[in-house]
Chain A
Amino acid sequence: MSFWRLDTLFLAFLSLLALLTPLLGPVNEAVAPPFCKPLWLDHESGKPLSLNAKDNSLSFTWESKPPKTFSVKGTVTFEDVPKSASLLLAGPSKTYKLVDLAGYRNFDVDIDSRDVPLKLFLGLSPFVDVSSVIFSERGAYSLFIASDVKAHVDLNLNIYTGKWGIFGTDQRGRDVFRLTLAGIRISLLVGIFATLIASTLGMGLGLFAGYLGGLADSSIMRGVDVLLAIPTLPILVVISGVWGRGLWQIVFVLSIFSWMGTARVVRSLTLSLREAPYVEGLRALGAPTGYILARHFIPEAMPLLLAQMALGVPGAILAEAGLSFLGLSDPLMPSWGRMLHEAQVFGAFTSGAWWLIFPPGLGIASICLAFISVGRRFEEMADPRLREMAER
């Protein structure tokens, strides 16, 4: 049976990605305006435009759908205080006065099509999309100053189509594709470390409980019962309140609350192995407990343990996703659960922005599927009867 099947290849590929993505640079910085759509989504929206006007006027053409937003920023300096002056944007059939410059020698222009005062100035309702009104026609446009005094202009006109990248941008303007890649690392880290710690704890305690019996066994099993009786979520909230939110806090809590299953399984295995003749023989020969445990029990338990681990990882990943979705995780940590939380909070579900939802959701599902598949193979190694049989 080949080791390199689809699931292991997939996981190896993901691990490689996880190792390489930090090289791409910081992921928490804004790269584009917020809520941009993916580049490939809509072909009619035209290209972003950035023009600088050094003369009194600037001409350009716009031959696509109205852009998402536009802005005009810069300075206008008059040779003398003008009695009447304004900044105008003229389209194929209508001209719009953007701002009144009269009465000022120097004017810092800072206009953005999203500003409510601008909409009111233009006589529009505050809920109207200014870009779609001004750029409603395709054709020639020009931005110019009309004044009774000569003006020196240094203005930048930026037209944004609201499109960027493979998966667009989120509410902070971060590249969603980069975030999705960064999420691989978080999921793998949380899943693997939480399960590793939980399994080690579980195996250790299970071995001791099963082999030593008596007080050790009872107290460990009581511990299991106590921990099982405590609901995880409130504990995590309390711990995050005391220690702050972070990757390792979540790993810690998840480990503490998931070693019980492994411990029970290992304990019952130990109980049955303990009575095996060869163990009695070893004990009769004077072998120390540690030797018996390390050289015999652990190898016996290994396949079972590996199965438990591989199946525990999806559990840890889903638990972390759930916690992040409820908003209880570190906001700076680019986990997939966090991405879904922010998507939901900022209205991605109702506005149909599926490119913010499917990458992290499918990411979680595919990693979990891969680990389950690997885990099943370990189970089959531990108990060959479970092997998926060939066609009969």
Chain B
Amino acid sequence: MNTLNNYWLRRVLSSLLVIAVVLSLNFFLFRLMPGDPTGSLLDPRFSPEAKQELLKSYGLDKPLSQQFFMYVKQMLAFRFGISFMSQRPVWQELAERLPNTLLLLFPALLLSAVLGTLLGVAAAKGRGRLTEKAVLLSGAISFSFPSFFVQLVLLLLLAHAFPIFPLRGSLSVPPPTGFWNLVVDRAWHMALPIASLVLLGFGSWALYVRNLMVKVLGEDFILLARAKGLRENEVLWGHAFRTALPPIVTIFFLSLPGVISGAVITETVFSLHGIGKFLLDSVLGHDYPAAGAAFYLMSLVTVICNLLADVVYTFVDPRISFRRLR
């Protein structure tokens, strides 16, 4: 137990170290980029004095070391400051966008994982038969197509040629009144984006789970279970799947950070007000507070999810112990 506590202590400490490194990288990387936030304000009516005033109002005329200390203090206190581009608190910008991204990517991840897992198990169960071939082929195809291509084609087909779904946005304008109407409207708007992401995402899950299940089904203890006379379904789900579950869950947790950062293209194509596009726009626009905060948030979530994945793994599979590495 002592070893275990030591392990967790070291894990938490190293996570903090990671965050510290990421924070510093964050700061210097953006300022490495030549140009400054006033660069995009190209207007002959903006005299050089006016530009200086603007830089002063951003606090960018102070020396770099001073800016760095202010930055670290603010990040640790979660005080993200004011966005250069919109002059609104960065917290507000993030808070507006985070729900949209989460609403898009979390269901998509869940559905892809569930669908992919079910298909993977079905493929492993139906080895050598059409099921396996079909799953392998569809999984490979799902993985191979570029996301924007599928999304744009879907949009053209199901939102324009046959106008079943809306073209853009996450809500109708003006939004309907009444709680359930709102829910339905939201769902209708998110249907295409989520569907496209699931179509593109189930492939890697299906292939991975199929491989995993095939390996597990080849283990001795499965042979034993079959010899004991257990029914096939019981063997499949009760024994094989249970063994395969820890790595699947680990991968799920490791995929969670992608839930926040992975939607730039989808948000662009479907005009969704999300964090991915926000990060891209902020970086391109040298909006240091906004970009820094978004970056920091994503890194934080990744580190936390890594820790969570480890926790879940240990609890789900008590066979694993930790040896000191020499």
B146 partner, pick from A214, A228, A365, beta carbons under 8 A? A365
Q: Does A340 contact B (CB under 8 A)?
A: yes
A229 partner, pick from B141, B264, B302, beta carbons under 8 A? B302
Task: Report the minimum CB–CB distance from B35 to chain A (whole Å).
Answer: 7
A388 cross-chain contacts in B, Cβ below 8 A: 128, 132-133, 136
Task: Report the minimum CB–CB distance from A335 to chain B (whole Å).
Answer: 11
Q: Does A322 contact B (CB under 8 A)?
A: yes
Q: Compute how far the CA of A349 lies from the CA of B176 in the bound complex, rounded to whole angstroms.
A: 31
Question: In the bound complex, do residue A241 and residue B35 qualify as a contact, i.e. CB atoms below 8 Å apart?
Answer: yes
Most chain A CB within 10 A, of B14, B140, B149, B306, is at B149
A280 cross-chain contacts in B, Cβ below 8 A: none
Q: Does B284 contact A (CB under 8 A)?
A: yes
Q: Does A23 contact B (CB under 8 A)?
A: no
Instruction: Say which one of A40-48, A230-238, A246-254 lies at the interface with B.
Output: A230-238
Instruction: Say which one of B17-25, B88-96, B185-193, B228-236 lies at the interface with A.
Output: B17-25
Question: In the bound complex, do residue B152 and residue A344 qualify as a contact, i.e. CB atoms below 8 Å apart?
Answer: yes
Q: Does A325 contact B (CB under 8 A)?
A: yes
* Per-residue contact bits, chain B 208-225, to A (CB 8 Å; 1 contact, 0 not): 000100110010000000
Interface size class of B (residues with CB under 8 A): 35 or more
Question: In the bound complex, do residue B127 and residue A238 qualify as a contact, i.e. CB atoms below 8 Å apart?
Answer: no
Question: In the bound complex, do residue B156 and residue A349 qualify as a contact, i.e. CB atoms below 8 Å apart?
Answer: yes
Q: Does B173 contact A (CB under 8 A)?
A: no
A372 cross-chain contacts in B, Cβ below 8 A: 140, 143-144
With both beta carbons as reference points, the residue of chain A lying nearest to B141 in the complex is identified as A369
Question: In the bound complex, do residue B22 and residue A229 qualify as a contact, i.e. CB atoms below 8 Å apart?
Answer: yes
Q: Compute how far the CA of A368 lies from the CA of B325 in the bound complex, rounded to whole angstroms.
A: 39
Question: In the bound complex, do residue A226 and residue B156 qualify as a contact, i.e. CB atoms below 8 Å apart?
Answer: no
A383 cross-chain contacts in B, Cβ below 8 A: 215
* Per-residue contact bits, chain B 244-263, to A (CB 8 Å; 1 contact, 0 not): 00000000000001000100
Q: Compute how far the CA of A142 lies from the CA of B147 in the bound complex, rounded to whole angstroms.
A: 52
With both beta carbons as reference points, the residue of chain A lying nearest to B139 in the complex is identified as A372
Q: Does B29 contact A (CB under 8 A)?
A: yes
Question: In the bound complex, do residue A369 and residue B140 qualify as a contact, i.e. CB atoms below 8 Å apart?
Answer: yes
Q: Compute how far the CA of A61 lies from the CA of B78 in the bound complex, rounded to whole angstroms.
A: 76
Q: Does A153 contact B (CB under 8 A)?
A: no
Question: In the bound complex, do residue A225 and residue B325 qualify as a contact, i.e. CB atoms below 8 Å apart?
Answer: no
With both beta carbons as reference points, the residue of chain A lying nearest to B21 in the complex is identified as A226
With both beta carbons as reference points, the residue of chain B lying nearest to A275 in the complex is identified as B323
Q: Compute how far the CA of A322 lies from the CA of B136 in the bound complex, rounded to whole angstroms.
A: 24
B145 cross-chain contacts in A, Cβ below 8 A: 361, 364-365, 368
Task: Report the minimum CB–CB distance from A339 to chain B (whole Å).
Answer: 11
Instruction: Say which one of B43-51, B64-72, B101-109, B291-299 lies at the interface with A.
Output: B291-299
With both beta carbons as reference points, the residue of chain B lying nearest to A352 in the complex is identified as B156
B214 cross-chain contacts in A, Cβ below 8 A: 385-386
A389 cross-chain contacts in B, Cβ below 8 A: 127-128, 132
A341-371 at interface with B (beta carbon < 8 Å):
344, 349-350, 357, 361, 364-366, 368-369
Question: In the bound complex, do residue A340 and residue B149 qualify as a contact, i.e. CB atoms below 8 Å apart?
Answer: yes
Question: In the bound complex, do residue A233 and residue B261 qualify as a contact, i.e. CB atoms below 8 Å apart?
Answer: yes
Question: In the bound complex, do residue B33 and residue A361 qualify as a contact, i.e. CB atoms below 8 Å apart?
Answer: no
Interface size class of A (residues with CB under 8 A): 35 or more
Question: In the bound complex, do residue B306 and residue A231 qualify as a contact, i.e. CB atoms below 8 Å apart?
Answer: no
Question: In the bound complex, do residue A321 and residue B146 qualify as a contact, i.e. CB atoms below 8 Å apart?
Answer: yes
With both beta carbons as reference points, the residue of chain B lying nearest to A387 in the complex is identified as B214
Q: Compute how far the CA of A385 lies from the CA of B240 in the bound complex, rounded to whole angstroms.
A: 15
A326 partner, pick from B133, B149, B268, B303, beta carbons under 8 A? B268
B295 cross-chain contacts in A, Cβ below 8 A: 230-231, 234
Task: Report the minimum CB–CB distance from B257 to chain A (whole Å).
Answer: 8
Q: Does A103 contact B (CB under 8 A)?
A: no
Q: Compute how far the CA of A198 lies from the CA of B148 in the bound complex, rounded to whole angstroms.
A: 25
Q: Compute how far the CA of A385 lies from the CA of B215 in the bound complex, rounded to whole angstroms.
A: 6
Q: Does B182 contact A (CB under 8 A)?
A: no
Task: Report the minimum CB–CB distance from B126 to chain A (whole Å).
Answer: 10
Q: Compute how far the CA of A228 lies from the CA of B309 in the bound complex, rounded to whole angstroms.
A: 14
A361 cross-chain contacts in B, Cβ below 8 A: 145-146, 149
Question: In the bound complex, do residue A391 and residue B140 qualify as a contact, i.e. CB atoms below 8 Å apart?
Answer: no
Q: Compute how far the CA of A379 lies from the CA of B207 in the bound complex, rounded to whole angstroms.
A: 12
Q: Does A105 contact B (CB under 8 A)?
A: no
A10-54 at interface with B (beta carbon < 8 Å):
none
Pairs of residues from A and B, 8 with the lowest C-beta to C-beta distance, nearest first: A368-B144, A389-B128, A213-B325, A229-B299, A361-B149, A229-B302, A241-B33, A231-B261
Other A-B pairs, 15, CB within 8 Å; known A233-B280, A237-B284, A372-B140: A222-B18, A226-B22, A229-B18, A229-B257, A233-B283, A234-B279, A235-B29, A314-B143, A322-B265, A349-B156, A365-B144, A386-B211, A388-B128, A389-B127, A391-B128
24 A-B residue pairs with Cβ-Cβ distance under 8 Å, sorted by A, are A214-B325, A218-B14, A226-B25, A228-B257, A229-B19, A229-B298, A230-B299, A231-B299, A233-B261, A234-B29, A234-B291, A238-B283, A241-B34, A242-B32, A322-B146, A326-B280, A340-B148, A349-B152, A361-B146, A365-B146, A369-B144, A372-B143, A386-B214, A388-B128
